[in-house]
Amino acid sequence: MWTVLSYASWGISIVLALWMLYDWFKIDTTFSEEVLTSSREGELEAVSEKHRI
């Protein structure tokens, strides 16, 4: 029983690792470095927040 669970968990781990590598390659080839390193969300939050001291 534990052996089957161990093999199943290793199989799931391998599938997830392959999925992450595929997604990394897909995103890396689809978007430029400038888009991936931009922080538009941070800029939008900074503009919308108004702090009073």
Please tell me the predicted confidence (pLDDT) of residue 4: 96
Mean pLDDT of 15-42: 86
Q: What is the pTM of this model?
A: 0.60
Provide the CB-side half-sphere exposure for 13 (13 A, CA).
6
pLDDT higher than threshold 90 for residue 19: yes
- Return mean pLDDT, the chain: 84
What is the token pair recorded at 43? 């800029």
CB 27 within 8 A of CB 36: yes
**What one-character-per-residue DSSP string does 3-53 give?**
HHHHHHHHHHHHHHHHHHHHHHHHHHHHS-HHHHH--HHHHHHHHH-----
